[in-house]
A and B are shown apart, each in its own frame.
Chain A
Amino acid sequence: MRDERSLDGFTDAGAEPDQFIREIAATLRAEEEPSAGFDRRVMAAVRHESATRAVRANARPWWRQRSISLSPLGALALAASVAAVAYVGAREIESPADRPGSSTTMAAEDGTEIVRFVFVDPNATQVTVVGSFNQWRKDATPLEATGVPGVWAVSVPLEAGRHEYAFVVDGKKWSADPFAPAITDEFGTESSIVRIGQAPTSS
């Protein structure tokens, strides 16, 4: 496989690599493209980072206030005034025909369900839910005032599988759902998890 020996693969300083190394390098130089959806996953993670960073940058007073108000009475008051619940609304399963804008990749048996996100905060003027299902876009999924003071809600069709999410209040307060399983990303930001049906198995 080789026709001459050299120290670091070159016939002499600055020259072309010898034949043996050229053959190995040519094999290793074959292109490797990431799998489909790689860019989308990276950008979802980037948007997540962007959203959490923006929230942190805009909410320093809130973070400071939060860190010093966790006395037992304060915690009770917080629990009474601010609560967030995400639940699968009556496990209501949409028919595909009722799903305008659904991806064509969603099959009829994909197990999509309507998830109703509810957030309670009497002082909020705007609440959105950000998550892996909307690419962590802060303005993509606003909650609507329900008519009950301080209660915000939105229904979102989610595909079967595991989804991460969090609430953003007034564009600056990041809040994981205290009643859902939590996950902390590598940068220390806590989000919540909701699982819908059976996660699709890879073929």
Chain B
Amino acid sequence: MEATSDGELVRAVLGGDTEAFAHLVNRYRGTYTRFAVRMLGSRDDAEDVLQTAFVRAYRGLARCEDPDRFGGWLYQIVINECRTYLSRRNKREKRFVEGAEASMPSTEHPSAALAIRGEILDAVARLSPEQREAFLLKHVEELSYEEMQRITGVSESALKMRVKRACERLRELLERKPE
């Protein structure tokens, strides 16, 4: 079943084989978990959002216009769910720093590498959601601006500006000398 294309799996689900959806979940959970964890700064929040995104995808599967590009379509849903979740959460609290730290692997022997990783996660968490989203899609997920535009619905020029500002902000945060 691993070699089965997205299109075949989508058509199988639409034909009544609900269990075929499990293969799509398995196929995309890794990439989208990483994106959601980086966006939200919390693994628990990321899993909640991803679960909702997968169920919404299942519910709206008939509206997936190109089943062979299910992954990109699902990306749109994941991104929208992340935006919605952040919007709600930011009204309640500001806890990106805490969330970013919580997403780090626990260790009894913190190393310099982990300290740097923590600084990077902290800096990324301090970006605006729009900048963080654009930066992650461009530099971490390595999408083209054309793909980003299609997935996010944001113009290419606006995306470039967000990535630019994200990079500037990250430099500002990570190059700041300790006081």
Contact B22 A43 (CB under 8 A): yes
Contact A27 B167 (CB under 8 A): no
Report the minimum CB–CB distance from A110 to chain B (whole Å): 24
Alpha-carbon gap, A34 to B103, bound state (A): 12
Alpha-carbon gap, A5 to B172, bound state (A): 12
In the complex formed, the residue of A with least CB distance to B19 is A43
Task: Give the size of the chain A interface in residues (CB under 8 angstroms).
Answer: 34
A sample of 26 inter-chain contacts (CB < 8 A) reads A1-B174, A2-B171, A7-B167, A8-B167, A21-B170, A24-B124, A27-B117, A28-B120, A28-B121, A31-B34, A32-B30, A32-B37, A32-B103, A34-B29, A34-B30, A34-B43, A34-B46, A35-B43, A35-B47, A42-B50, A42-B54, A43-B22, A49-B58, A50-B18, A53-B59, A186-B52
8 Å CB interface, B132-179 against A = 135-136, 138-140, 160, 163-164, 167, 170-171, 174-175
8 Å CB interface, A1-51 against B = 1-2, 5-9, 17, 20-21, 24-25, 27-35, 38-39, 41-43, 45-47, 49-50
In the complex formed, the residue of B with least CB distance to A37 is B47
Binding site for A on B (CB under 8 A): 18-19, 21-22, 25-26, 29-30, 33-34, 37-38, 43, 46-47, 50-52, 54-55, 58-59, 103, 116-117, 120-121, 123-124, 135-136, 138-140, 160, 163-164, 167, 170-171, 174-175
| Chain B residues in 8 Å Cβ range of A8 | 138, 160, 163-164, 167
In the complex formed, the residue of A with least CB distance to B145 is A8
Known contacts A6-B167, A8-B160, A17-B139; is-contact A32 B59 (Cβ 8 Å) = no
Alpha-carbon gap, A7 to B138, bound state (A): 13
Contact B21 A43 (CB under 8 A): yes
Alpha-carbon gap, A28 to B170, bound state (A): 13
Binding site for B on A (CB under 8 A): 1-2, 5-9, 17, 20-21, 24-25, 27-35, 38-39, 41-43, 45-47, 49-50, 53, 186-187
Known contacts A21-B167, A46-B55; is-contact A9 B138 (Cβ 8 Å) = yes
